[in-house]
Each structure stands twice: as structure tokens, then as C-alpha cells.
């Protein structure tokens, strides 16, 4: 090896081979020999003893012990692409065991492609890391003076303090407004001052949101005399104000499951804004999870527009998500829908008894970008290899065709891997919803996320007015 390498080296360096005299070569020879020895050391395989001296973790980085498993599923899938004349250079696939030691299938794993809504998985990971699954977003209403008994008009500004609740809706505005009415408030003589990020659905303008808030307040009998102003949270002196109401969102874990199950773009983008925006999400993933800068580009946290990510980076995100959830005593099914069972975008896929309940995943679809984009990524439970992570990124083709082929590819691969080990543990996740019928009556119900049927209805008087939605 040394002789071959030295021959090539001198061949590629005509400066040395020039007819400049043996003395010149003799003077330069120690330099070149030293360089040759250095490069030989770098390129030469590390021995077993040296590997043990480095430590197991470092040895795996220097010399990964990834085993490639021969499967026919990928070959069948590629043949389908060829028959339809779809470009292989526009597709990316990577399937790995959860521990990263076994590769079951790969095709262009390092090619950045449009993931569409699979980008929501990355947004979910950043949210969990920064906020935690039990985090609740808070919206608060303050005034300058306390409310006296029988007082209906306040010589006060109306302060709306928000931390960017991504699921705050018009229904929540109405509930807050009716709670103020029940306190006897009818008029604020001052201004409406919005503090912090505050938005409804896809409208990110706090000015627009404030107009909607004013309109709903007026409908229930509360008027704000003055104008609308926007202020920074740092300018708000909370200790000098009077709190009238606090609204809590559902826990972040529940929000993320609904976000991924139903792929709600406006919620994902609003959540991204509360995390610092698309650029911060991208930099956080690069910084905290060792993604290469060329492996990911986040334009929209929802996955709309021209986002880019490699199949390998998707697998890295999924693996990090699994460990993050595990640290919080949660599972992947708590964030991603179960195919063939849960409501949402995967309800009608993998419904056959052999695969139903055997995998969780996130879909991605965008028919208007990159010639048609369809993606699928998540985790499946196999008998032979245990949990495996998969990422399928398709572009430049028919979305419906890609979906059918994604399903067939995963079914073939799972079948080759011994089939589904066992359906995922589907302990029902109970979700509570409550809505107002009138200022005095509250209707609520409980249902299981994997069942469309409402389980329990209740009707009663409202209570705990200052903790709405908690």
C-alpha cells in the first residue's frame, strides 16, 4: 500500500519529477517522506487494540459499525420508479434500526429534498427540547385599577399579555370575554395594549388579532374606548397592574399530537414563531443535534414552501425525538399518530391486520412545489430488528402514486423483517374539550384520541373564572 501510494503521490507532483538534479530531490526528500508517513497513518485502518484505547464511543465515530442488511424491498421500489420514468435523483430513502447499527435500505440518503409536512417533526422536537411536554401557553388580561363592586366602567387600559399560544382561537377569545362580563366589566376608558406575540390561525398580525378581540368583546357587551398599541414584554410592569383573567392552553404534548396527526399548518407556523422563527429552529437543530448545515434548510416550520432536509437528517431528528420523549416517560405514539388507528392523515393507511397499529408516522404532501412532493417518516416495530426508523422523501412525481408505493415499500420491508412484532401499546389518551353555550353554562366532553366517538358528556355551571382553560 505504501509503495502504491508513494508512486501515485510522485506521479501527481510534477514539481518533484522535474529534472532539477538529484541534490534538490535529496534536500526535499525528508519533507515528502514525513508527509507520506502522516497520510499513511491517517488512512491506515485502526487496529482493535487502538480502538479499545480510544474508547468505545469515539471508536464508533472513527469507524462506525453499521451493518447493511440485504433486502429486496428497495429494489422492488426502484423498479417501480424506473417503469414510470421517475428520476431516482429526486428521491431519498433511509431505514435504520433505532440504535443506528443496521441499515435496512438507503437511496440518496444525503440528498437535500423537500420534506413538506415532515418538517413538523423537527419543529416538534425543538418545541419539546425548549419548552417540555407539560408546558402550557398563557394568555392574561390586566387592568390599571381593581374592579370595585357595582363598578361597570374602568378608568383603565386593557392589557392583553400573550406568550404566543399557537392554538388560541376565536372560541377562546369568546370564553375570555364572557368571563370578564361575569365579573361585571362593561367598559374600559383607556387603550387596548397588546404585549407579546398574539395571533389567531394563519393571521400573524397582532393588529389584526386585536381588532378581532375588540369585535368579540363588543358582541358580548364590553367596549374599549381608546386605540390599539403594541408593546414589548420588557416594557410591561406586571407588579403595578391588576390581573383580571388567565387562560391556559392544553399541554404542549397534546398540542403536538394534534399538530402532527392532522398536520395543521397554521398551528405549526405559529408555534415556530413562539420558538424564535424558522431560522432559530434550523440553527437549534444544527447546534444541538449535530446536523450538517447543508443537510437542512427551514423556510417554514410547517413545511410549506421550499424547505430542504436529507433523509439522514430526518432519521437523526427522529432518533433525537425518541430519546427526548423517553427522558420524559413518553413514547413516539404520544407525538405521532398510529397508522391505521388514530384519526388524522394516517387513519386510512396500513389498515390490514398484518400492519395495523405497527407503525407511527408523519406524512408530508405538497402538490404545488418541486413537481409534487410526498413524504413519510416515523417508526415501525419489526420482529427481527426491533424498532426501525424510516424516512421516505419523494419529489417530482404524482403524490397519490407515491403514497401507494410508500405503503407497499414499508409493508415489504416489514414482511422481510419478520413482520410487526406486536401492535403498539395503545393505552387511550383521553382528551378533554369544553365550550360555552352561554355566559353561565359550560358543555364539556372527553374522548379517546384513537376513537371518534365521544365518551362522556357533561353539562354544568362555570367555575374558576380566573383560570379558564386550565
Instruction: Give 45-56 pLDDT, tens digit per residue.
Output: 433 333 334 344
Count up the domains in the chain and report the number.
Answer: 3
Which of 62, 79, 112 is where one domain is finished? 62
387 and 371: one domain? Answer: yes
Instruction: Supply the mean pLDDT for the chain.
Output: 80
pLDDT score recorded for residue 133: 95
Say whether pTM exceeds 0.85. Answer: no
222 occurs within a structural domain: yes
Q: Examine the domain organization and report whether 217 and 170 are in the same domain.
A: yes
d(CA 161, CA 109) in angstroms, rounded, equals 45
Mean per-residue pLDDT, 377-385: 94
Q: Output 277 or 11, whichever has higher pLDDT.
A: 277
Give yes or no: residues 58 and 73 share one domain: no
Q: What is the mean pLDDT of residues 99-119?
A: 96
Question: Does the residue 282 lie in any domain?
Answer: no
Residue 39 has pLDDT above 90, yes or no: no
What per-residue confidence (pLDDT) applies to 312? 96
Residue 432 has pLDDT above 50, yes or no: no
In the predicted structure, residue 438 carries a pLDDT above the cut 60: no
Residues 144 and 225 in one domain: yes
Domain check: are 375 and 456 in the same one?
Answer: no
Q: Quick check: is 459 in a domain? A: yes
Q: Are residues 445 and 398 in the same domain?
A: no
pLDDT-based confidence at residue 171 (cuts at 50, 70, 90) = confident
- Residues 7, 99, single domain; the answer is no
- Report if residue 314 sits inside a domain: yes
Same domain, 121 and 144: no
Q: Give domain status of residue 288, yes or no.
A: no
- 106 and 191 belong to one structural domain: no
Average pLDDT over residues 122-130: 97
Phi-psi region of 455 (alpha: psi -120 to 50; beta: other; left: phi over 0): alpha
**Is the same domain home to 397 and 441?**
no
User: Where in the sequence is the domain holding 157, given as residue range(s)?
Assistant: 138-249+430-467
CA-closest candidate to residue 118, choices 380, 375, 388, 409: 375
Across the beta sheet with 223-224, what order do the strands follow?
153-154, 187-188, 223-224
Dist CA 138 CA 246 (whole Å):
7
C-alpha 301 chain-centroid distance = 8
Amino acid at each position: 500500500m505504501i509503495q502504491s501510494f508513494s508512486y501515485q503521490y510522485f506521479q501527481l507532483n510534477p514539481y518533484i519529477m522535474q529534472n532539477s538534479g538529484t541534490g534538490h530531490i535529496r534536500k526535499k526528500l525528508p519533507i515528502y517522506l514525513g508527509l507520506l508517513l502522516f497520510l499513511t497513518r491517517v488512512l491506515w485502518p485502526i487496529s482493535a487494540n487502538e480502538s479499545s484505547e480510544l474508547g468505545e464511543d469515539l471508536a464508533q465515530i472513527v469507524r462506525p459499525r453499521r451493518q447493511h442488511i440485504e433486502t429486496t424491498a428497495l429494489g422492488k421500489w426502484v423498479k417501480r420508479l424506473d417503469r414510470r420514468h421517475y428520476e431516482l435523483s429526486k428521491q431519498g430513502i433511509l431505514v435504520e434500526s433505532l440504535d443506528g447499527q443496521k441499515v435496512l435500505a438507503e437511496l440518496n440518503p444525503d440528498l437535500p429534498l423537500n420534506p413538506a409536512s415532515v418538517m413538523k417533526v423537527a419543529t416538534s422536537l425543538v418545541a419539546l427540547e425548549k419548552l417540555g411536554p407539560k408546558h402550557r401557553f398563557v394568555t392574561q388580561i390586566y387592568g390599571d385599577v381593581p374592579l370595585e363592586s357595582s363598578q361597570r366602567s374602568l378608568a383603565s387600559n386593557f392589557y392583553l399579555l400573550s406568550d404566543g399560544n399557537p392554538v388560541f382561537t376565536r372560541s377562546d377569545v369568546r370564553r375570555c370575554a364572557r368571563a370578564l362580563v361575569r365579573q361585571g366589566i362593561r367598559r374600559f376608558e383607556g387603550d387596548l395594549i397588546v404585549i407579546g406575540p398574539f395571533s389567531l390561525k394563519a393571521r400573524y398580525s397582532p393588529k389584526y388579532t386585536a381588532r378581532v378581540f375588540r369585535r368579540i368583546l363588543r358582541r358580548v357587551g364590553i367596549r374599549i374606548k381608546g386605540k390599539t398599541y403594541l408593546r414589548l414584554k420588557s416594557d410591561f410592569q406586571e407588579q403595578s397592574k391588576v390581573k383580571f383573567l388567565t387562560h391556559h392552553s392544553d399541554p404542549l404534548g397534546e398540542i403536538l399530537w394534534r399538530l402532527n396527526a392532522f398536520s395543521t399548518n397554521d398551528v405549526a407556523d405559529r408555534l415556530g414563531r413562539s420558538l424564535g422563527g424558522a431560522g432559530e429552529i434550523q440553527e437549534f437543530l444544527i447546534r444541538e443535534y449535530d446536523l450538517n448545515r447543508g443537510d437542512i434548510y427551514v423556510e417554514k416550520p410547517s413545511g410549506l414552501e421550499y424547505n430542504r432536509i436529507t433523509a439522514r437528517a430526518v432519521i437523526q431528528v427522529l432518533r433525537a425525538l425518541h430519546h427526548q420523549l423517553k427522558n420524559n416517560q413518553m413514547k413516539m405514539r404520544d407525538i405521532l399518530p398510529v397508522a391505521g388507528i388514530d384519526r388524522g392523515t394516517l387513519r386510512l393507511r396500513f389498515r390490514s391486520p398484518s400492519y395495523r397499529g405497527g407503525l407511527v408516522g408523519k406524512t408530508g404532501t405538497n402538490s404545488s412545489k418541486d413537481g409534487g412532493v410526498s413524504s413519510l417518516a416515523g417508526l415501525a416495530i419489526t420482529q427481527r430488528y426491533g424498532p426501525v426508523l424510516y424516512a421516505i422523501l419523494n419529489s417530482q412525481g404524482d403524490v397519490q402514486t407515491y403514497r401507494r408505493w410508500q405503503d407497499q415499500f414499508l409493508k415489504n420491508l416489514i414482511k422481510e423483517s419478520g413482520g410487526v412484532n406486536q401492535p403498539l401499546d395503545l393505552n387511550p389518551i383521553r382528551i378533554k374539550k369544553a365550550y360555552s353555550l352561554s355566559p353561565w353554562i359550560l358543555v364539556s366532553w372527553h374522548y379517546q384520541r384513537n376513537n371518534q366517538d365521544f365518551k362522556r358528556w357533561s353539562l354544568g355551571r362555570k367555575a374558576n373564572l380566573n383560570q379558564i382553560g386550565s
